[in-house]
Structure 1
Amino acid sequence: MRNFLTTIFSKDKSPFASVKAATSWCKRLQEVDTQSQQLKIHQAVAAFMTEQRVASLESLHVLLLLDDAVQLSYEAVCYQYISNPRMSKDIEAKLWKQITHFAADMVAIYQCFVQAEVEGGKKAELALLMPKVLARSLHYLSIQAKWHYFRFEKVPSKLWILSHQLYRLSEIEGCDSNPFPLYTLHGKEVTSCADEYIQMLMLGSLSSNNLSVRQIDWVDRWLNQWSKLIQLSRKFQEGRYHLCVNLQAPEGPQKIQPDCEGEPFRYWGLHDLMQDVADLLRRLDGGSLPRDIGMGKDCPAPLALELLKHLDMFWSLSIRNSVVQRSERKKVAKIADIISGLDCIVGHVRLDNDKFMRKSATDERGHVDYDEIMDMRLYGFVSTRTKEKISPAKQVENKQNDWFVWSIENESAGGYGAVVQFSENEWVRPGLLLANRLGRNENWQLGVIRRLNRLTDNEVYVGIQSLAIAPVAVSLYMEKEERKELISLAEDSAFGVSDLPNSRMALYLPHQVDGKNVNTLILHSADYGTNKIYRVQARERVFMVRLGSVIEKGIDWIWVTVFVLSQE
C-alpha cells in the first residue's frame, strides 16, 4: 500500500512531463465536453508558468501538441461568442475573459521558449521550430486585438509592441516568409509569420469602421487569404505603398507621412488586394454564392456583398488618402443638424434650392407665383411638385425626423470633427454621405464620413470631409426611357399630361481635378455607366451630359465627372 501511494504522489501528472505523457493526457481529454477541454489545457499552460518549469526542447514539443489539441474546442468557444450577439452582459464578460486570457497565456508561454537558452546540440532543432512559435504567438496576439475590436476598444500598446518585436525577430531569423500549416486542424492551408502579422495589421486598419461582431469576424477570415496578396517592404516607393507601420511605436498601421521613411518603418500597398475584392464583387453580382468562392458557408450573399462594397470603398479611400494631407484644425463649439443618405439629402437640398430661387423671384416680381398660373393653364390643377416648391417650410417641418443633432468640436479648411452618442448613431460608417447645417436658416452642406474613433462605450469621434457648401439637387432622365413613360402617362392620365414619375435623383457640385474646374454629379451607383448620356434638369435649366470617370464611390453612391454636350 505504501509503495502504491508513493507512486501516485510522486508521479508528475502534468502533460509537460514528456511528449508521451502529453499524448496520453490529450486522449483522456476527449472524454470531457468541448468547453472543459479548453479550460483544462488552459490550466495546464498556466501551471507550467506558475511552477516555472524549464523551457526545454521536449516541453516545446508538448506545447505545440497541446496547442494543436485545443484548437477545435477553442474555436468552438470563440464561435459561441461570435454567434450570440444578444447574450447577457454576464455571459459576454465571462466568454470574453475566457477567450482573451487564454490567448494571452499562450503568447506568454511561447515567449518562454523564444527567450529560452537551449543546449548547443539542440539549437538547430529549436531553430526549425521557431517560425511556428513566432507565427502562433502572432496569431494569438491577433485574437486579442480582434476581441478588443468587438468591444470598440483600443488595442493595448503592449500588444502592438510585442507583435512588432516578434515580426522583427522573424526577419532577423530569416523566416518571416517561410510557409507552413499553422495547425493540423487547418489541413493544407499555409501561413507564415508575415501573413499572421499582416492579417493583424489589416484588421487594425478597419478598427474604426464601426463594424458588427459578425462583420469583423468575416473580414478576419477573409484576411486569411488576402494577407498573402500583401508584402511588407523596408523601402518606400511613392504611388505603390499606401500604409505603413513603425516597428518601434506602440501602435498599429498608419497613413504614410513625410517623416515615415527608413527604419523602423515597413510599407505595403493595396492594389493587389483591391483587384481580388473587385473580382469577388463581380462574381457575387453574377450570382455566385459566398461558399463557392471561398468566403465561408455562414455568410449570406446579400450581407457578403454589402460588406465587400464597404471594404472596397474604405480601402479605396486609404489609397486616396495616402496622397492627401489634412488641413490644420481649430477647436470650436457648435451644434449642427445632420442628415444622411442620398435620397434624403437630395430632398432637403432641393428645398434649399427652391427657397433660394423663390426668394429671388419674389424680390423681382412681387408675390405673383407663375408656377401656379402655368399649372392651372396646362393641367387645370396645381401639381404636387409645384405645391412642394411653394411650401418649403411645411416640407422641412414634415422631414425633421430625418436629421440628427451633433456637437461639432473642431473645424478645418477641409472638414470638421464631431463627437456623437453611439447609441443614437449606430448607422455611422466611413464612406457614408451626409449633409450638415449650423442653423435652421442655413443651407445644407455636403460631406462624407472619413474616419471614426471610439472614445468611450457610448461616445464616437466622427471625422467628416466637406465636399460642397452649396450643392444643387438635379433630376436625371434618359431620353428613350422618358419617351416610353410619357406615352404611358398620356394613355393613363385623365388630363393627358402629368409630372414625370421615377426620375433619378442626383447632386451637382463643382470640383477641382488636377487644379482644373470640372462638373461632377453624385448619383446612385446603379445609375452609373461609363459614357452614359442623361438629360439633367436643375429647376428651369436643362442639359444633356455624358458621364465620365469615377472620382469616388461609396456603398450606394458614386461621384463622377460629367461632360456637358448641350444646353436647352
Structure 2
Amino acid sequence: MFDKVAKLGGLFAQGSHGHPLADPRELRRIVAELPKDNAFKALDEIAGWLESLLASDGIPADRVYEAAQQLDEAAQPLLKRLTREYLHTPRLPRNEEKRLWSINCGFWTLAAAVYERCLPEADDKGRAPESAKWLLPALSARLISAYGARLKWEQFHYGPSHNDVWRGLGQALLLAEQAGVAGKPVAIPGGGGSTSPQQEYVKAMVFQAASMDSLLPLEIELAERLIAHFLSGFIFSANGEHDSVYWVDLAQSQPPLRMARMPNVAVPTQRFFKPGNAHGAMLELLGSLERGGDVPAEINLGGQYYGKTLVPVLRHLTAYLAPVPPQRRHDRHRVKHRMSVLNGLINAFVVFSKEFGGRPAGLQMESWVVDNVSRGGFGAVLSDIPAEWLKIGALVAMQPEGGDNWLLGVVRRYHRESDKEARVGIEALARQAFSVELKPRTASSYAAVAGIPSLILQDGNEAGEVRVVLPPASFDLRESLEYPAGDRLQQLVPVALVEQTADYELARYRLG
C-alpha cells in the first residue's frame, strides 16, 4: 500500500513500555519530526506507525487511541493537499492517479483498523470504566468517520464495494448506543465543527443512498460536502414509518437497502432513514443556483465553486434522496450480445464518416458484453477494464456483433465489481448520426477556414432541430455554423449547450 511501511512489529514484543508511541513525550517527538516538505514521505511514515500499532500487543486502548489520534491529525493537512491534487489536476496520468488514490484510501483503511482495535477495551466498563466513559464517544465517531472516508475513496474508483465496511460501521454505532453516547458531541479532524457517532453514521448512510456511481470524482466530493451541510434535516430512527425510504441492520454486513426490500423480521438492530426537511432545503438551494444565485458562504465545500458546478450535483441529490427515489424509466430486457466499442469523438467521427468501411482498420476496439437493453440504452459487463479512458461521461461508438451499423452513446454509470470486472450503464444518444466538418457562417474566406470535426445526431431531436457533438470549447451561442448539404450550405443556428465535458460538447441547433 505504501512504499516504505515500517516493519516495526517485532521491535515491541515486550509490550506497551517497548513501543515509542506509548510514551507521550516520544509520541510528540515523532509527530513533530514528520517531514514538512514532502506529503508522500510524511504519510508513508504515518502509515508505518499505524501499522506498528496494529502489530503490537499490550498497549492500553487509551494509549493506542491517543497515538492514532495525533497521527490522524498530523495527516489531515497532507491528505487535504493530495486530495486537492487528485480532484483538480486535469488529465492526471493513470499511474499518478493510482498512487494518490492508494495513499488516501490506504490511510483511511489503516486508521479505521487502528481505531477498531481500541473498541473492545474501550467498551469494557468493568476493566476501564473511566477511560471508557471519555474514550468511546470520540473513538466511535473517528472510527465511523474513517470508514465513511474509505467509502468515499472506494466510490472515487467506482468500487468494488466491501460489505465489511458496513459491519464495522454498525458495530461502532451499536456500542456507542449501548453506552448512551451515540449522540454525544465530539470534535474530530476535518469534521468542520461538532459531530457525534450517530451523525457520522447517518452521513455514511445518506452517501450510500445517493447512488454516486453516475457522478465524477469531484462531483462525489461536492455531494458528500452538501450532504454534511444538510445532515441535520435527514431523519434516522429505530422505528420504520410509512414514509421511510431506506433501512439497515447494524448487526449485518450489508449496506442500506431501499424499503422496496422490507426486512423479513423486525429486530432491535434495524434503523430507518428518510429525507425529512433536507430534501426541501436542497431543492431550495438548487432553485436559487439555477436562477443565477451565489453559493451560500456557510456551505463548506473545501474551496470556491461557481453555482453552475453545484447544479448537476444538487439535481442528482434531490432525485436520489427524494421521498420517492427515481424509478427506472424504461423496462430492461435481458440479453447476451457482444459489442465492439470505440471511445472518443475522433474515433466516432471516423466510423460515422462511412469513408473507411464498417470496421475501419487500425482503430483499437474494446469488446464488451451487453447483458441488458432498454429504450434508453444498454448495460454492459467488462471483463478487462480499459486503463485510461473509461469514466463517467465518456463518449463511445458501439457496433453490435455481426452488424454494420454504429450507435453513439455516453457512459452514465460505472461500478467496478472487482479489479478485473466492471459494469457500465450507457445512455444511447443516437442510433443514426453522420460525420461533418462544420464552419462558422461568418467566415470571410470560407475555403481557408479549418472545419470543426463534429457528429450530427439524426434521431431523438426536437422538431426543426438537431443535436451536434463538437470538440471541447467549440460551442458559441452567438455563432451559427454550416456545412455542405448537396448543392447548398445547411445553416445551424445555436439553441443551447446541453452537456460539456473535457472531451466533447453536446449542443442543440436549429436548422436554418
TM norm. shorter chain > 0.5: yes
Q: TM-score, normalised by structure 2?
A: 0.63
Which residue does the alignment assign to 1:84? 89
Residue of structure 2 aligned with 1:135, choices 138, 141, 148: 141
Q: From the superposition, tell whether residues 232 and 88 of structure 1 become closer, same or farther in structure 2 (CA, over 3 Å).
A: same
Q: Is the 8 A contact 1:243 1:253 kept in 2?
A: yes
Name whichever structure is richer in helix by fraction: 1
Match of 1:233 in 2: 237
Amino acid corresponding to residue 117 of structure 2 in structure 1: C
CA contact (8 A) 1:231 1:268 kept: yes
Name the CA shift for 1:327/1:145 in 2 (closer, same or farther; >3 Å). same
Distance change in 2, residues 1:57/1:90 (3 Å):
same
* Contact kept in structure 1, 2:17 and 2:23, CA below 8 Å: no
Deviation digits for residues 292-347 of structure 1 (CA, Å, limit 9, x no counterpart): 351442333322223222333343496244xx99989655548799xxxxxxxxxx
Matched to 2:186, the amino acid is F
Contact 1:334 1:407 in 2 (8 A): yes
- The 2-side partners of 1:192 and 1:179 are apart by 5
Cα displacement (A) at 1:451: 6.5
Q: Kindly tell me: are residues 415 and 27 of structure 1, through their superposed partners in 2, closer, same or farther at Cα, counting changes over 3 Å?
A: closer
Task: Report the Cα distance in structure 2 between the residues aligned to 1:448 and 1:249, rounded to whole angstroms.
Answer: 36
> Residue 416 and residue 235 in structure 1: after superposition, are their counterparts in 2 closer, same or farther (change >3 A)?
farther
Q: Deviations over 1:71-92 (max 9, x none)?
A: 2223333333333353333333
Q: Which residue of 1 aligns with 2:371?
A: 409
From 267, 281, 293, give the equivalent of 2:286: 281
Q: Distance in 1 between matches of 2:87 and 2:173?
A: 28
SS for the counterpart of 1:287 is coil
The CA distance in 2 between the partners of 1:207 and 1:56, in whole Å, is 36
1:499-538 matches, within 5 Å, as none
Tell me: CA distance 1:179–1:397, structure 2 relative to 1, closer, same or farther (3 Å). same
- 1:164 to 1:276, Cα distance in 2 relative to 1, 3 A: same
| 2:260 aligned partner, one-letter code | Q
Closer, same or farther: CA 81–415 of 1 in aligned 2, 3 Å:
closer
Identical aligned pairs, as a percentage? 19
- Tell me the alpha carbon deviations over residues 80-107 of structure 1, each in whole angstroms, 9 at most, x when there is no partner: 3333353333333333332223222222
Which structure 2 segments of 5+ residues have no match? 1-15, 342-351, 359-365, 394-398, 429-458, 465-491, 499-505, 507-512
For residue 270 of structure 2, the aligned residue among 265, 269, 289 is 265
Cα 1:205–1:43, aligned 2, differ >3 Å: closer, same or farther? same
The residue correspondences of 1:247-326 to structure 2 (distance < 5 A) are: 247-260=250-263, 262-263=266-267, 264-290=269-295, 292-294=297-299, 295-316=301-322, 319-321=325-327
Aligned to 2:27: 22
Q: Which residue of 2 aligns with 1:246?
A: 249
Structure 1 unaligned spans of 5+: 1-10, 338-394, 430-435, 477-500, 506-523, 525-555, 557-568
How far did residue 233 of structure 1 move? 2.1
Tell me, yes or no, if structure 1 residue 198 matches structure 2 residue 185: no
Is residue 176 of structure 1 aligned with residue 182 of structure 2?
Answer: yes
Aligned counterpart for 2:217 among listed residues 213, 219, 222: 213
Q: In the alignment, is the contact (CA less than 8 A) between 1:417 and 1:462 conserved in 2? A: yes
The verdict on how the C-alpha distance between 1:275 and 1:16 changes in structure 2, with shifts beyond 3 A counting, is same
How far, CA to CA, are the matches of 1:32 and 1:426 in structure 2?
A: 34
CA distance in 1 between partners of 2:316 and 2:112 (Å): 33
Counterpart of 1:38?
Answer: 43
Give me the whole-angstrom Cα distance separating, in 2, the residues matched to 1:160 and 1:233. Answer: 17
Q: Distance in 1 between matches of 2:54 and 2:387?
A: 42
- Quick check: 1:329–1:412 contact (8 Å CA) kept in 2? yes
Instruction: Summarize deviations over 1:510-545 as a string: whole Å, max 9, x none.
Output: xxxxxxxxxxxxxx9xxxxxxxxxxxxxxxxxxxxx
In structure 2, relative to structure 1, the CA distance for the partners of 1:235 and 1:14 (3 Å cut) is same
Q: Which amino acid aligns with 2:228?
A: N
CA distance in 2, matches of 1:116, 1:329: 53
For 1:244, the aligned partner's letter is W
- Conserved 8 A contact 1:291-1:297: no
- For the residues of structure 1 that align with 2:82 and 2:202, how far apart are their CA atoms? 25
CA drift of 1:134 comes to: 1.0
Aligned residues: 420
Helix, strand or coil for the counterpart of 1:245? strand
- Counterpart residue number, 1:97: 102
Contact 1:327 1:414 in 2 (8 A): no
Distance 1:268 1:422, change over 3 A: farther
Distance 1:86 1:424 in 2: 10
Q: Does 1:151 align with 2:157?
A: yes
Q: Is the 8 A contact 2:235 2:276 kept in 1?
A: no
